[in-house]
Amino acid sequence: MELPFTNFKLTGFSGCLLSIPALLFVGIAGVIGQQFYDEISPYIIIVATLAVLGVIISYGKSANKTHADDIKNYKDLQEELKHITVKYNANISELETSYKNEIKGLSNISKLTQKSTIRSNYSSKYTAIRKAYEKERDQYQMVWKATHGGIKLKNIWQMLFFIGFVLILGACSFSMGVTMEPEEPVTGVTALMQSRTWSADNIPMPHMTDGSQYVSNPDSILSQNVVDSINIVLRQMDEQFDIESAMIIVGHIENDDPIAMVRGVYQKYGVGKNNRGLVIVVGYLDHSYFIAPGRALEGDLTDLESDQLARTYLIPSMKAEQPDSGMFYLARGTYALFAEKDMPVMSSLTNTYNGQEDEEDTESMIIMLIFTVLLGGWAYYANSMSRKLGFNSTSQTRLRANPFIDYTTAAIAAGSVLGSSRSSSHSSGGWGGGSSHIGGGYGGGSWGGGGAGGRW
Amino acid sequence: MSNNASKSGFSKNTLIIGAVLAVIVIWAISAYNGMVKVEEQATTEWAKVQSAYQRRADLIPNLVNVVKGYASHEKETLEGVVNARAKATSITVDADDLTPEKLEQFQQAQGELSQALGKLLAVQENYPDLKANENFMDLQKQLEGTENRINEARNSFNTAVQEYNLKIRKFPNTLLAGIFGFDKMAKFEADAAAQKAPEVQF
């Protein structure tokens, strides 16, 4: 019997089948992010190579013939085993009928005293039948193996089905894990971020050209999703409360002086219509910040309130190296303060901020659905192939269980709690769309020195 | 014929003189208004400076009370702050009478208050309970904000005074300034004795 992977048609066919989860893996990973292509590319290369090689070579006639012969031989084995099993099952049925007749013939009192003894005797006879069955079955299989070199074909197919099943589950788990990936701490500090310092003179201010942009993030510390979300919050604040904002987060502030940067931004750009401006400066690598309300805003956002906002939302997140959460919740908290709404509750710092939860839950559900369909399809295919190739162990090739054992009525509760996506404890809240601002520029506001700052 | 000639010459001269005078008057009015404007800006900024210092002074009684609750036997320090505050608030400088001497006197008094405050805040290092007291921490935070306001107000005042002084000292404005009593204003100078803002440490 040839080695498993010299059976090229088998190899090619199985390679094609295995490439299905691989393709799905790729597709879903591609939706999630480019970086995952790098992680799974070795897997893709191996499976794709197997698939292509196998398909090309599998058109050889000799391969076809070998495969067909193997299947025929295996089917013959299964047929013979079925005959043996049917024969012994018939013996067991006769034994069971005899037992029932014997019990039936007993009086009620005799049943109480003799039934267990009779059952025990018949159980012993069953055991003898079983031993005889196993002996004949094993003998036949030994002879068959000696003649045909074993039943490796069945093992190969079973292995392939199992590998496919595991791969699909693995791809599903990986994709699910990816969608629920918590925000990674910002640990990689680029050389540019490390070297460049920012001041009011060189900080880019997107609001000057686009009135819907309030966040300056030149070192890309925040992700674009978060920047967009913060812009929505600050735009709401602008439209509802006439508070013009500038939120700045950089790696290093010049001279590590956020107050000087705040002063410079106010002087240079005049943040705030009617002096109702709000400038927030964070030096992420310097571990410093300052929240500076404009002159006319100091009454609505006092020094203590600014400090409280920072201590509640900014500092814990920054300490956990999660600037996205910190800045987003700071913006939301500030909005809630002005709107006199309940202050947002920051989710655990091991999870992403609440605003993303609904989106991620939907994504997780879609992924689970795809993989459920794929698993179901694979299971169906495996079952139909097994039947076709005669691999399925039907009841006709399995000996009956011992009918003379007195099973207790213990209920075996088998349950499994299927985990679903993680709980969502806070609604995201729709911040609304709102029209995009045309043009840009600030309203000429000034700063009176109020606000709060500090370090973490 | 000579009469007609002299009449038209006189008229022409009159016109020229009149025009020149008109230009001078217009310029004078414009210059005067300009000086008034920058002077007002400077006095407004001075009011903001006083307001910021007053804000600090208003925080001190609460601060003293909180510290007294935990460190009552720091008598000397507490009295020092109270006395310095009294002295600082007793010196009021009118914007119209902002001479360099008076400004220096004002700055010195405020400087002494800053130093006394610094000593008072330093007391917290010996009293952990005081340091952890929420009221104390809130007052410290307000004090920090107040110091920032003082700094900003002083910077704005200095900028406004600079602009005013430049305006009145430039020629030909300086001619008018002397006539109408626009005097040079004094600016805040850096304190040689290190007028340090009280350090707020957590």
The confidence score (pLDDT) of residue A64 equals: 55
CB A374 within 8 A of CB A170: no
Q: Please indicate whether residue A20 or residue B37 has the higher confidence score (pLDDT).
A: B37
- In this structure, the number of other CB atoms found within 10 A of the CB of residue B198 comes to 22
Chain-chain contact of A449 with B144 (C-beta, under 8 angstroms): no
Distance of alpha carbon A181 from alpha carbon A203, whole angstroms = 32
Q: Please indicate whether residue B50 or residue A32 has the higher confidence score (pLDDT).
A: B50
Model confidence at B133, in pLDDT bands (50, 70, 90)? confident
**In the predicted model, is pLDDT for residue A285 greater than 80?**
yes
Q: Please indicate whether residue A155 or residue A78 has the higher confidence score (pLDDT).
A: A78
DSSP A204-270: --GGGT-TT--EE-TT--S-HHHHHHHHHHHHHHHHHH--EEEEEEESEEGGG-HHHHHHHHHHHH-
The confidence score (pLDDT) of residue A441 equals: 87
What part of B 34-63 touches A (C-beta under 8 Å)?
Answer: 48, 52
Model confidence at A216, in pLDDT bands (50, 70, 90)? very high
Q: Dmax over Cα atoms in chain B, in whole Å?
A: 106
Distance of alpha carbon B154 from alpha carbon A316, whole angstroms = 34
Compute CA B44 distance to the chain's CA centroid, rounded to the nearest angstrom.
9
B2 to A128, A253, B7, B11, B15: CA distances (angstroms): 164, 83, 9, 14, 20
Residue A237: name the closest of A345, A333, A310 by CA.
A333
B152 touches chain A (CB under 8 A): yes
The confidence score (pLDDT) of residue B3 equals: 52
The confidence score (pLDDT) of residue B24 equals: 87
The confidence score (pLDDT) of residue A235 equals: 93
pLDDT digits (tens, 9 = 90+) for A149-169: 655 666 777 777 777 777 777
Closest residue in A to B156 (Cα–Cα): A448
Chain-chain contact of B202 with A263 (C-beta, under 8 angstroms): no
CB A106 within 8 A of CB A115: yes
Model confidence at A342, in pLDDT bands (50, 70, 90)? low
**In the predicted model, is pLDDT for residue A420 greater than 70?**
no
DSSP element (H, E) containing B176 = helix B173-180
Q: Please indicate whether residue A136 or residue A75 has the higher confidence score (pLDDT).
A: A136
Amino acid present at A252: H
DSSP 8-state assignment for residue B192? T
Tokens of A288: 């410093």
Mutate to test the interface with B, among A306, A307, A456 (most CBs of B within 10 A): A307
**In the predicted model, is pLDDT for residue A107 greater than 70?**
yes
Give Cβ neighbours of residue A315 (< 8 Å, ≥ 6 apart): A326, A454, A456
Chain-chain contact of B145 with A450 (C-beta, under 8 angstroms): yes
Residue B139: name the closest of B81, B186, B185 by CA.
B81
Q: Please indicate whether residue B3 or residue A85 has the higher confidence score (pLDDT).
A: A85
The count of residues in chain A is 456
The confidence score (pLDDT) of residue B173 equals: 86
Model confidence at A176, in pLDDT bands (50, 70, 90)? low
Model confidence at B78, in pLDDT bands (50, 70, 90)? confident
pTM confidence score: 0.55
DSSP element (H, E) containing A140 = helix A108-148
For A255-284, what is the mean pLDDT?
A: 94
Share of chain A above pLDDT 70, in %: 63
DSSP element (H, E) containing A23 = helix A8-32
Distance of alpha carbon B121 from alpha carbon B168, whole angstroms = 43
Model confidence at A196, in pLDDT bands (50, 70, 90)? confident
| Angle of helix B2-70 versus helix B134-169 axis, rounded to 10 | 160
For A246-265, what is the mean pLDDT?
A: 94
Q: Please indicate whether residue A380 or residue A231 has the higher confidence score (pLDDT).
A: A231
Model confidence at A237, in pLDDT bands (50, 70, 90)? very high
For A387-402, what is the mean pLDDT?
A: 69
The confidence score (pLDDT) of residue A412 equals: 42
Model confidence at B69, in pLDDT bands (50, 70, 90)? confident
Select the residue of A307, A449, A454 nearest B149 (Cβ to Cβ).
Answer: A449
Residue position matching structure tokens 């094993």 = A138
Give Cβ neighbours of residue B31 (< 8 Å, ≥ 6 apart): B172, B173, B176
**In the predicted model, is pLDDT for residue A347 greater than 90?**
no
Q: What is the ipTM of this complex?
A: 0.77
Distance of alpha carbon A56 from alpha carbon A64, whole angstroms = 13
Closest residue in A to B135 (Cα–Cα): A304
Residue B52: name the closest of A444, A100, A396, A303 by CA.
A303
Chain-chain contact of B141 with A451 (C-beta, under 8 angstroms): no
The confidence score (pLDDT) of residue A118 equals: 87
Closest residue in A to B200 (Cα–Cα): A454
